[in-house]
């Protein structure tokens, strides 16, 4: 494995984005309502976060909580939200759409990817709800996304580590597999080593849970995580 793994940290406030940058994160995933899995951040949050951090910021585009089968009006809203994210200086887009039979919605995902260009698109953990992850991998590639955020179909990335390793192997250099879910300083190196992933995603959810605002603690936990990955061999 390489000597350093790229670290993405998911946040829902500009203060957490600043703390993540100070702690050594290399990319921010910006969301609203992380407890629901993340929703589209407000224009004000995108604007404020962009003003406060220099890291690349990928904006979540998800119009509501719940499943990932969206109506035509919801998809139209997603296109509008992508345009807004681009206008506000976001560096990437995070989204995911499925069909009623739990397949990746290739056609509509591809259209959203086109709207996002030139920004890269991450297909988020809607991927883990797909009926067949091997099929879903090929479908996301066909939709022209740049990476897949996944826990390997399990509740957490450590629990899905074998499937994640299979996905990394199958993806080769066609798409980036981004393990996420339950990753922290105690398990990140094992996840990276056993999967062969070159990027990891963490929200460190337990640190800022239940409305806590201890951003010094959050920064410290990000720093611990980044330090583990930087020294991994």
What's the rounded Cα separation, in Å, for the pair 40 and 60? 5
CATH of the domain at 222: 3.20.20.380
Average pLDDT score, the chain: 94
**Confidence bin at 79 (pLDDT 50/70/90):** very high
What's the rounded Cα separation, in Å, for the pair 61 and 157? 22
Q: Is residue 210 predicted with pLDDT exceeding 90?
A: no
The answer to whether residue 165 sits within a structural domain is yes
Tokens standing for residue 87: 């206008």
Residue 141: Cβ within 10 Å count: 17
Least confident of 2-11, 62-71, 182-191: 2-11
The answer to whether residue 78 sits within a structural domain is yes
Check residue 231 and give its pLDDT: 77
Residue 108: Cβ within 10 Å count: 19
**Confidence bin at 213 (pLDDT 50/70/90):** confident
CB-based contact 63:81 (threshold 8 Å): yes
**Confidence bin at 44 (pLDDT 50/70/90):** very high
**Confidence bin at 45 (pLDDT 50/70/90):** very high
The answer to whether residue 59 sits within a structural domain is yes
Q: Is 37 exposed, middle or buried (0-12, 13-18, 19+ CB in 10 A)?
A: middle
- Number of separate domains in the chain: 1
Q: Encode pLDDT of 130-165 as tens digits.
A: 999 999 999 999 999 999 999 999 999 999 999 999
* Residues of the domain holding 170: 6-230
Check residue 212 and give its pLDDT: 60
Angle between helices 215-230 and 188-195 (to 10 degrees): 40
CB-based contact 147:125 (threshold 8 Å): no
What's the rounded Cα separation, in Å, for the pair 79 and 9? 24
CB-based contact 110:143 (threshold 8 Å): yes
- Report percent pLDDT > 90 for the chain: 90
The answer to whether residue 1 sits within a structural domain is no
The answer to whether residue 157 sits within a structural domain is yes
Check residue 208 and give its pLDDT: 60
């Amino acid at each position: 494995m390489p000597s350093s793994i790229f670290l993405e940290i998911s946040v829902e406030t500009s203060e957490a984005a600043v703390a993540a940058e100070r702690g050594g994160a290399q990319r921010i995933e910006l969301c609203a309502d992380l407890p629901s899995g993340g929703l589209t951040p407000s224009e004000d949050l995108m604007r404020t976060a962009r003003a406060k951090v220099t890291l690349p910021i990928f904006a979540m585009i998800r119009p509501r909580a719940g499943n990932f089968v969206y109506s035509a009006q919801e998809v139209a809203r997603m296109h509008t939200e992508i345009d807004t994210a681009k206008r506000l200086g976001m560096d990437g887009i995070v989204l995911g759409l499925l069909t009623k039979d739990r397949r990746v919605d290739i056609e509509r995902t591809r259209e959203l990817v086109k709207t996002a260009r030139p920004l890269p698109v991450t297909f988020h953990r809607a991927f883990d709800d797909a009926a067949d992850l091997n099929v879903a991998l090929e479908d996301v590639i066909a939709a022209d996304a740049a990476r897949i955020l996944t826990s390997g179909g399990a509740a957490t990335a450590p629990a899905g580590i074998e499937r994640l390793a299979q996905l990394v192997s199958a993806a080769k250099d066609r798409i980036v597999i981004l393990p996420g879910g339950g990753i922290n300083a105690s398990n990140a190196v094992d996840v990276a080593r056993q999967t062969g992933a070159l990027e990891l995603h963490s929200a460190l959810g337990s640190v800022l849970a239940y409305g806590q605002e201890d951003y010094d603690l959050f920064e410290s936990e990000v720093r611990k995580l980044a330090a583990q990955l930087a020294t991994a061999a």
